Amino acid sequence: MSDLYCVFGNPIAHSKSPAIHAAFADETGQDLRYEARLAPVDGFLQAVAEFVAAGGQGANVTVPFKEEAFRLATRLSERAARAGAVNTLVFNGNEIFGDNTDGAGMVRDITHNLGYALAGKRILLLGAGGASRGVIAPLLAENPASLFIANRSADKALALAASFADMATVDAGNFADSAGKSFDIVINATSASLSGESLPLPPGIFVAGGLAYDMMYGKGETPFLALARAQGAGRCADGLGMLVEQAAEAFFVWRAVRPTAAPVLAELRAKLGQ
Ligand code: ATR
């Protein structure tokens, strides 16, 4: 019997994770099966219990269960503790280990796939929800020159920045507070792209050689990336690379073997027609 893994989410039918992990298993010669499992919104714990009873060894967790997975874990990685959310679980006897590979996946996509070093760079992070919280520690670990968190409601950004004060000085405010500054890397961690909405960003924040990065992806350009391109960002990238790299990092957590993300990413891009 192959080792069993899955992704829990709601909805989950359109998840790309089963295809990504099947490709990783092929590439690395690992004998595993990976399924998408729909958990009822109020039935995550039950779904996990059933999966473990069926022999499940590990799982990814996506919307809306990442905070519940965080609470379920009996042991957390440092990065998951910082993120306040778990996207990767390992079931080992009575222990449930919770990890979070989202931030590492984004950092690897930016530094490795896109070739932008983060060290010494001025970074603007848009949004102060879970997606933003999940990437802050891995971003700070790269030693950027500065990090500014801008959010529609400034108080959430200020509170988030304060919770990382032991790691670095993080500035924060609303979108207008970023006016007059420019940034080498601007990352959209708001959910505005999901609803097709643009952000009220002040002009002049993007620099010519800089990177605009949207954690979201889809067919066509997101509103944030369209705005960034119009305002002169040097390079625009969506979150498809982050999706594949967080999966590669989760695969490594489970199997201690690191798959190469690039061919899988190229295939997904081809399917999206990009
Ligand atoms: P996630 O887990 O995806 O981060 P979340 O915790 O609900 O989701 O956070 C959503 C983030 O997107 C928040 O920063 C939210 O801003 P507020 O804190 O001011 O609500 C931001 N957001 C969502 N829609 C937005 C929009 N249309 N314009 C600006 N910011 C938006």
> Are 110 and 233 in the same domain?
yes
> Are 7 and 135 in the same domain?
no
Domain annotation covers residue 261 = no
Domain count, the chain: 2
Domain annotation covers residue 164 = yes
Whichever domain contains 173, its CATH number is 3.40.50.720
Name the residue at shortest CA distance from atom 31 of ligand 1. Answer: 192
Q: What is the mean pLDDT of residues 12-39?
A: 97
Domain annotation covers residue 259 = no
Domain annotation covers residue 210 = yes
Q: What is the mean pLDDT of residues 229-241?
A: 95
Task: Work out which ligand 1 atom sits closest to the CA atom of 194.
Answer: 24
> Are 120 and 225 in the same domain?
yes
Q: Which of 268, 273, 272 is nearest to 113 (CA)?
A: 268
- For a ligand 1 pocket test, name from 66, 67, 124, 190 the mutation site with the most ligand atoms within 8 angstroms of its C-beta: 190
Confidence of residue 274 (pLDDT cuts 50, 70, 90): low
> Are 23 and 125 in the same domain?
no
Q: How far apart are CA 261 and CA 244, in angstroms?
A: 6
Domain annotation covers residue 263 = no
Could you report the per-residue pLDDT of 78-125, keeping only the tens digit for each? Answer: 999 999 999 999 999 999 999 999 999 999 999 999 999 999 999 999
At 98 the pLDDT is 98
Q: Which of 249, 260, 233, 274 is nearest to 116 (CA)?
A: 233
Q: How many residues does the chain have?
A: 274
Task: Work out which ligand 1 atom sits closest to the CA atom of 128.
Answer: 14
Name the residue at shortest CA distance from atom 7 of ligand 1. Answer: 129
- Give residue ranges with CB within 6 A of ligand 1: 127-132, 151-153, 156, 190-192, 197, 199
- For a ligand 1 pocket test, name from 191, 201, 242 the mutation site with the most ligand atoms within 8 angstroms of its C-beta: 191
Tokens encoding 107: 């950092």
DSSP bridge pairs for 3: 32
> Are 188 and 132 in the same domain?
yes
How far is ligand 1, taken at its centre, from the CA of residue 38, in Å?
A: 24
> Are 64 and 110 in the same domain?
no
> Are 132 and 36 in the same domain?
no
> Are 116 and 204 in the same domain?
yes
Could you report the per-residue pLDDT of 175-227, keeping only the tens digit for each? Answer: 999 999 999 999 999 999 888 888 999 999 999 999 999 999 988 899 999 99
Name the residue at shortest CA distance from atom 21 of ligand 1. Answer: 190
> Are 54 and 133 in the same domain?
no
Domain annotation covers residue 271 = no
Could you report the per-residue pLDDT of 141-172, keeping only the tens digit for each? Answer: 999 999 999 999 999 999 999 999 999 999 99
How far is ligand 1, taken at its centre, from the CA of residue 126, in Å?
A: 9
Query: Would you call 85 helix, strand, or coil by DSSP?
Result: coil
- In degrees to the nearest 10, what's the CA dihedral of 215, 177, 161, 226? 0
Q: How far apart are CA 214 and CA 42, in angstroms?
A: 30
How far is ligand 1, taken at its centre, from the CA of residue 100, in Å?
A: 20
Task: Centre a 10 Å sphere on the Cβ of residue 27 and count the other Cβ atoms it contains.
Answer: 15
Q: What is the mean pLDDT of residues 249-256?
A: 98
> Are 45 and 173 in the same domain?
no
Q: What is the mean pLDDT of residues 42-64?
A: 98
Whichever domain contains 69, its CATH number is 3.40.50.10860
Domain annotation covers residue 258 = no
Which structural domain range is residue 37 located in?
3-100
Predicted TM-score (pTM) of the model is: 0.96
